[in-house]
Amino acid sequence: MVVTGRVDQNTLVAIGSSTGGTEALRKVLTQLPSEIPPIVIVQHIPAVFSKAFADRMNELCAFRVKEAEHGDEVVPNTVFIAPGGKQMQIKKRSDGRMMIHIDDSAPMNRHKPSVDFLFNSIADQVGSKCIGVILTGMGADGAQGLRGLRDAGARTIAQDEKSCVVFGMPREAIKLNAAEEVLTLMDIPGKVLHWLSQKKAA
């Protein structure tokens, strides 16, 4: 069931995922209402598949989903998926607008795009006005970044072991005490919306 209600559109939602993530993302995104805050996603995916995945999600969701491009403004009612084979970060302009920065920086944790690369930029540029989520995936990419987000005052979630295809990334985040909540996949959208519907998401 799609959750409805007014949400804070000034809080950034950042999601990282890997093995099993495309299906997990579909389940999360399709539970969200048409009016959402901006969402930025790193899914470990080859370059040739990231746009096709974004296009498929755009067909299924009640809001816009696109493969992120350098210079995109981070705006509500839009999901930005990092392009495969590139690094994505958030940069805040002097006027307060958040922009997508895509470049050819080296892999981080052997990944490009890397969840940590994105999360680190958000902790630095956005701070507490963020909700960070780590979904199913192999390895540890995103664990340190999620810890950085939590240290910056953001709300944070890790997917639980039972609902993960691979529990690697969430497990490492939980070990670092990076996750404020550990939730089953189907409970994540509701928790995110609950936090967004509170007067202050921090």
Q: Which one-letter DSSP state was computed for residue 39?
A: E
Which two structure tokens, joined as six digits, stand for 202? 């921090």
Residues in the chain: 202
Tell me if 201 sits within 8 A of 155, measured CB to CB: yes
Give the C-alpha distances (Å, rounded to integers) separating 7 from 43, 46, 62, 142, 183: 25, 33, 15, 26, 20
Active site residue 18: yes
Cβ contact 135:17 at 8 Å: yes
Out of 8, 17, 18, 50, which one is annotated catalytic? 18
Q: Taking the mean position of all CA atoms in its chain, how far away is CA 169?
A: 13
Which of 44, 111, 116, 163 is flagged as catalytic? 44
The C-alpha atoms of residue 77 and residue 53 are separated, in whole angstroms, by 18
Give the span between the Cα atoms of 201 and 11, in whole angstroms: 7
Place of tokens 């970060």: 89
Task: Check whether the bond before 83 is cis (ω within 30° of 0).
Answer: no
44 is catalytic: yes
Task: Identify the active-site residue in 17, 141, 160, 163.
Answer: 141
Residues known to be catalytic: 18, 44, 141
